[in-house]
Amino acid sequence: MNELNTYLSEHKNRFIDELIEILKIPSISADSAFSQDVFDMAEAVKKSLEDAGCSKVEICETPGYPIVYGEKIIDPSLPTILVYGHYDVQPPDPINLWNSPPFEPVIKTTKIHPEGAIFARGACDDKGQMYMHIKALEFMCSTNQLPCNVKFMIEGEEEIGSESLAWFVKNHQEKLANDIILISDTGMISNDQPSITTGLRGLSYVEVEVTGPNRDLHSGIYGGAVANPINVLAKMIASLHDENNHITIPGFYDKVEELSPEERAEMAKAPFSLEQYKKDLDIDAVYGEKGYTTNERNSIRPTLDVNGIWGGYTGEGAKTVIASKAYAKISMRLVPHQDWKEITQLFKTHFESIAPKGVKVVVTPHHGGQGYVTPIDNIGYKAASMAYAETFGKTPIPQRSGGSIPIVSLFEQELKSKTILMGFGLDSDAIHSPNEHFGIFNYLKGIATIPLFYKYYTALSKK
């Protein structure tokens, strides 16, 4: 597609400028102080879909943030691709660790991104990757090369559990009917070695509260004589892993899919340097479940991690006190066949059962979702593989990811279609962290690869 290269080089500066504009909108779904910005962002997505060539674009109201829906149906007898993405972003905190303000995008070069990367919250997750699809559509429409039908569904609650989208999908099956779902909201191995994500982990997210005495106490007068909720919580959390870093919740592993030695050997072929991994993170050793490699621990094995823990006095100086309450937020990443609601229940039962006398424990489930594994023997995967091979000059490697996009399993359940995860981010792009960025190379490669997916998918559908 030479025309594509010409179009890209003619318009790439505008593509970058347009992305920078939408990155300025702080569409933080988790923080209600930014609610207006999230709505504004939906309007911006609507406008960009119209400009790119969709024939129908609507803002679909939900009980929460709207879903932007757009479509271009050229011939009902041709296949239909449904593109999903999200326009909400994670909160930027801790703000003081950013080298430039999170909603004032700047382009800087890095070792991995010699051609420059855009630094801003959402640059990679998922505004930059979502916008690649809109620019790919613009190219296909304005050069008369759209080979099939396309529908867009861009939501604003992915980072907080996609509750409204679940409702929307269940109620609009006909509107969303498609042959394949296409998402760019994951990563790849490196800019020299593309990969296609074939699995996502499920998630169960809970909050726990431990209450001891009915009020904060002097730690001298009462210390040693009553249960200290923070001490107790720390002990309870520590007991959730054994000496081999296995999770101790009874029944937790019962349904875990065990990969065959052949599958594990296949996985181990993906290029990976443990030395580089440790160096990047400035750690002297990796840590995790005994009997598994780093790449297995972060993809095919379930995990339990404390995401936040608080209670008592954390201000300046010292205050001698036994707090009445202690809290933690805990996430469990799940693998195929583990049911997130069942795991949440197992956690709750176990955590309540290990509470010592003298404290009360309350477990509150937050959101969750099922994992997902996509087969590689279908035309969707083949089309994606051919598209990457053409733009990168290398066949992509299938790879399971440790992250979660819980709505993907619901798409399969409600819309009966498979999802192809064409991610262009890198692990080092710092999504959810300070200084999130997205390589200009990756952004433009994405825009170049997506139309090829359309082309090959349509061609393979005819056979």
Q: Residues interacting with ligand BES, by CB under 6 A?
A: 125-126, 158-159, 161, 185-187, 200, 203, 367, 401, 403-406
Cβ distance to Mn ion smaller for residue 70 or 128: 128
Are the C-beta atoms of 20 and 118 separated by less than 8 Å?
A: yes
- 18, 71, 125, 138: which one binds Mn ion (CB under 5 A): 125
**Which of ligand BES, Mn ion, none lies near 187, with the C-beta cut-off 5 to 8 A by kind?**
ligand BES
Write down the least CB distance from residue 263 to ligand BES, Å: 20
- Stretch of residues binding Mn ion (CB under 5 A), selected from 25-33, 119-127, 255-263, 366-374: 119-127
Non-local CB neighbours of 383 within 8 Å, separated by 6+ positions? 420, 453, 456, 457, 459, 460
Cβ distance to ligand BES smaller for residue 203 or 249: 203
Write down the least CB distance from residue 187 to ligand BES, Å: 5
Cβ distance to ligand BES smaller for residue 7 or 424: 424
**How far apart are the C-alpha atoms of 40 and 13, rounded to whole Å?**
24
Q: Which of 412, 400, 399, 327 is nearest to 369 (CA)?
A: 412
Cβ distance to Mn ion smaller for residue 18 or 185: 185
* DSSP-derived pairing of the beta strands 67-72 and 360-369: unpaired
- 138, 185, 429, 436: which one binds Mn ion (CB under 5 A): 185
Using CA of residue 35, residue 38, residue 39, residue 40, what is the dihedral sign? positive
Residue with tokens 């061609």: 459
- Stretch of residues binding Mn ion (CB under 5 A), selected from 184-192, 228-236, 329-337, 452-460: 184-192
**Which of Mn ion, ligand BES, none lies near 404, with the C-beta cut-off 5 to 8 A by kind?**
ligand BES
429 binds Mn ion (CB under 5 A): no
Non-local CB neighbours of 45 within 8 Å, separated by 6+ positions? 22, 68, 87, 130, 134, 154
Write down the least CB distance from residue 421 to ligand BES, Å: 8
Residue with tokens 């082309």: 455
Cβ distance to ligand BES smaller for residue 29 or 458: 29
Dmax of the chain from CA atoms?
Answer: 80
Measured in residues, the chain has a length of: 463
Please report, as ranges, the residues that interact with Mn ion according to CB under 5 A. Answer: 125-126, 185
